[in-house]
């Protein structure tokens, strides 16, 4: 075997060692990485936002199908505007405009789930498992363990809880309660349900999400803003902008 030959004394150090990065090269690499991060992170956030919108739209669409099934089975739709039962949902306008205090979705669920059969199955299968929640008798918190109506019908206390809208929750992808509207006419002669004035007028029942910002805003102000109404106050414009990201089941094809 040929012995290793010693390096000449005058051989440069760079010839025997790998040259490291210069400060300028490091700065260039760091700048490129920062640029890539700056491009990819907003894109990822935008994609996640779209996924949340798609998830919420799917939930609203499933609820719309469930109410069609409910109407076929019962001949009517749950109507929280009925004078005999509207004490079951919030009646104060300020509370109704607060998604966290509104109980109309609970009203629909308490009626829809008790019909059993296909309507109950559509509600269960059409929503994200973790967002449909129920509060059992004696509990102070909600659970994703939702009983079926058959179990509730044999337990008087559970049945009573089943029929109480305040014991139901159904949230959108941003963890804000959804809204059920039996009808919205904006008829100031007395035919409208005052709590729904901030929602768009529509002749049929529908479901709504307050969108990513969790604020309902005012759909009527939004319509006026889009129509170029220059008489809107700053507060009106703020309400209109808050309503821009709302999602309604009747807009879903």
pLDDT tens, 125-166?
777 666 889 999 989 899 888 888 887 888 899 988 988 888
Which residues of the chain, if any, have pLDDT below 50? 91, 190-193
The whole-model pTM stands at 0.74
Please report the pLDDT score of residue 34 as a whole number: 83
Please report the pLDDT score of residue 37 as a whole number: 77
Q: How many CB atoms lie within 10 A of CB 177?
A: 23
Distance CA 40, CA 48 (A): 12
Please report the pLDDT score of residue 77 as a whole number: 87
Contact 120, 112 (CB under 8 A): yes
Q: How many CB atoms lie within 10 A of CB 157?
A: 11
Distance CA 200, CA 247 (A): 11
| CA angle in degrees (0–180, nearest 5) for 61-63-66 | 115
Please report the pLDDT score of residue 186 as a whole number: 65
Q: Please give the sequence-ordered ranges of beta strands (E in DSSP) within 95-230, or none if there are none.
A: 132-134, 168-170, 179-181, 206-209
Please report the pLDDT score of residue 241 as a whole number: 92
Please report the pLDDT score of residue 191 as a whole number: 47
């Amino acid at each position: 075997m040929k012995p290793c030959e010693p390096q000449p004394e005058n051989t440069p150090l760079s010839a025997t060692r790998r040259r490291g990065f210069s400060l300028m090269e490091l700065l260039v690499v760091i700048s490129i990485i920062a640029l890539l991060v700056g491009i990819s992170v907003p894109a990822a956030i935008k994609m996640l936002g779209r996924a949340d919108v798609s998830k919420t739209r799917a939930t609203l669409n499933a609820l719309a199908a469930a109410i069609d099934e409910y109407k076929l089975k019962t001949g009517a739709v749950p109507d929280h505007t009925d004078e005999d039962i509207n004490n079951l949902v919030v009646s104060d306008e300020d509370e109704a405009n607060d998604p966290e205090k509104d109980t109309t979705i609970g009203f629909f669920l308490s009626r829809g789930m008790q019909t059993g059969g296909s309507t109950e199955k559509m509600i269960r299968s059409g929503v994200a498992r973790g967002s449909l929640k129920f509060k059992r008798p004696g509990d102070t918190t909600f659970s994703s363990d939702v009983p079926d109506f058959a179990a509730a019908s044999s337990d008087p206390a559970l049945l009573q809880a089943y029929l109480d809208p305040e014991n139901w929750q159904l949230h959108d992808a941003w963890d804000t309660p959804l809204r059920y509207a039996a009808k919205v006419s904006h008829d100031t002669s007395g035919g409208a349900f005052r709590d729904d004035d901030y929602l768009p007028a529509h002749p049929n029942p529908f479901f709504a999400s307050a969108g990513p910002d969790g604020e309902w805003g005012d759909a009527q102000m939004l319509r006026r803003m889009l129509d170029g109404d220059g008489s809107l106050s700053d507060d009106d414009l703020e309400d209109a902008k808050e309503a821009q990201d709302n999602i309604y089941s009747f807009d879903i094809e």
